[in-house]
Each structure stands twice: as C-alpha cells, then as structure tokens.
Amino acid sequence: MADEFRFPVEATHVLFFRRAVGYADAETSSAVPPTFPIAAAQFDPAYPLRPKPGEKWFGSGKEASGGASPRVAEGPPPLHAEQHFEYHRPIRIGETLTVTSEPGKTWEREGRAGTLKFAERITRYRDEDGADVVTGRSVSVQVFPKEAP
C-alpha cells in the first residue's frame, strides 16, 4: 500500500459498490455504504491485488499461476482476519479523501493448523481540511503449517 494517496468519492463507484453488496435501492440512494472506505484500494497506486500492465500477475493465464503472491516477502499469502472502522462523520459523494496507512502491531499464536502470524494496519481517511473522517484497522493472518514430525 502506498503511504499516502487521494481517494475521490465518486457517484458511479458508490453505485457499483452498492450493487455489489446488495442494496435494493442502489440506483436511487447515494448514501455511502459503511464498508466503502475499503474500496479506496482502487486509487492506491501501489495496491498489490490489482493486475498492472507489464507486470506479472500471480493468478492464472496459460499456467495456474504467474508467480509468487506479491504481498509478502516470504511465507503463505495472508488472509483477511479482521476489519474495523471508526466513523468520525459520514463520507459524502463529491469529496476527495486523503488516505494514509501505517503498520500497527504484530503478534503470533499457535493454532490447530500451525503458527498464525497476525499483522495490523491502520488506515486514516481525512478530508480536505485535514479532519478525520474514518479510521480503519485491518488485521491479516499468515498460517504457517506445522512441520511434518
């Protein structure tokens, strides 16, 4: 994720997101859904889970995979374990938010499947006056399987 980027909140993007999460009135209301901040990924120039021209993609083409997952230097690909949002005020269509992101805590524990390594990331969404609009906290987990005895 880039350290900082701009997230224009646009009507068509909100419409497509409202459709995807099943709003019956997706076309007639312009309220921004509670989890819409996650879609800032569309505007993150360094977002790793979007194919980019001229770069190898780890999903299938001729082969089942085009290479290693780009998100981690080593270990299995992370899964999304938790997501939290704190809303300071509603997001409105037409505004442009500034998104900043930084790593948070890391911890690990032993689970049935092996060692679980957790990593937190804090994302702040601020408005044009620099005021907080939403604060996000995501937790990802990598599962390192137990070694065969």
Partner 1 sequence: MNAGDTHETVLVDDLTRTQIVQYAGASGDYNPLHSDEPFVTEIAGYPTVFAHGMLTMGMAGRALAEWLGDDALRSFGVRFTKQVWPGDTLTARFVVDAVEDGSAQISVSVTNGAGDEVLAGSATAAA
Residues within the interface to partner 1 (CB under 8 A): 13, 16-23, 29, 31, 33-35, 38-39, 41-42, 44, 47, 49-51, 57-60, 64-65, 77, 79-87, 90, 137
Is the Cβ of residue 38 or residue 100 nearer to partner 1 in the bound state?
A: 38
Is the Cβ of residue 58 or residue 144 nearer to partner 1 in the bound state?
A: 58
Q: How far is the CB of 129 from partner 1 (least distance, A)?
A: 19
Q: How far is the CB of 119 from partner 1 (least distance, A)?
A: 15
> SS3 of 18, please?
helix
Q: How far apart are CA 60 and CA 64, in angstroms?
A: 4
Q: How far is the CB of 102 from partner 1 (least distance, A)?
A: 18
Bridge partners of 123, per DSSP, are: 101, 136
Beta strands at 96-111 and 79-87: parallel, antiparallel or unpaired = unpaired
Q: How far apart are CA 84 and CA 124, in angstroms?
A: 12
Q: How far is the CB of 88 from partner 1 (least distance, A)?
A: 9
Q: How far apart are CA 134 and CA 37, in angstroms?
A: 8
Is the Cβ of residue 18 or residue 126 nearer to partner 1 in the bound state?
A: 18
Is the Cβ of residue 51 or residue 75 nearer to partner 1 in the bound state?
A: 51
Q: How far apart are CA 78 and CA 139, in angstroms?
A: 10
